[in-house]
Amino acid sequence: MSQALSSQAVVAVVGTGAMGAGIAQVAAAAGHTVRLLDNRPGAAQAAIDGIRAQFDKMVAKGKMSTEASAAAAARLHAAAQLGDLADAALVVEAIVESLAAKQKLYSELEAIVSGACIFGTNTSSISVTAIGAALKHPERLAGLHFFNPAPLMALVEVVSGLATERSVADTLFATATAWGKT
């Protein structure tokens, strides 16, 4: 079985609505530098502000130390464009439920990130195989479906497409587990 991504690995989250922001919160709390990207102006920074407020609430409830909250908040960064995600080891997409939009995003990302970068789609309604069909390397794509709200719900589904490499699914499984998910 593969190992979880190192906490030193950069995680990118594309789409900063409720799901994307929740996933970013989980990854930052687990120790990852997280880059958030959204096509809506100001949305990534707004998501970061909201996540920081959630960390503050956790401190107030005694569920997180002030130091841990500050460290996790400092790991959150807004990205202005896809090129800002070039160093990501994992890109989790939580954009609109549109096959064409997801295929376009991942096709563009393939030209930007390293060949070792894993793609995780948070979709629950579109086939991972269909999304991957537009990629040069569909073996790097798997479903990484969080339940809402991602910081509170323990369950995460790891879904392989027909082309998904076993090591990719295993790494996502181990990473979700390391993030405290079932």
pTM of the model: 0.96
CB 181 within 8 A of CB 31: no
Which residues 6+ apart lie within 8 Å of 103 measured at CB? Answer: 131, 133, 134, 135
How far apart (Å, rounded) are the C-alpha atoms in residues 124 and 160?
Answer: 12
| Residue 8, amino acid | Q
Q: What is the pLDDT of residue 1?
A: 58
Taking the chain (182 residues) in runs of 10, the rounded mean pLDDT of each run is 91 97 98 98 98 97 96 98 98 98 98 97 96 97 97 97 98 97 96
Structure tokens at 95: 């954009």
Q: What is the pLDDT of residue 112?
A: 97
Tell me the C-alpha to C-alpha distance, in Å, between residue 124 and each of 60, 81, 103, 127: 33, 26, 15, 8
Q: What is the pLDDT of residue 2?
A: 78
How far apart (Å, rounded) are the C-alpha atoms in residues 60 and 25?
Answer: 17
First to last CA, the chain: 16
The owner of tokens 């439920």 is 97
How far apart (Å, rounded) are the C-alpha atoms in residues 71 and 2?
Answer: 27
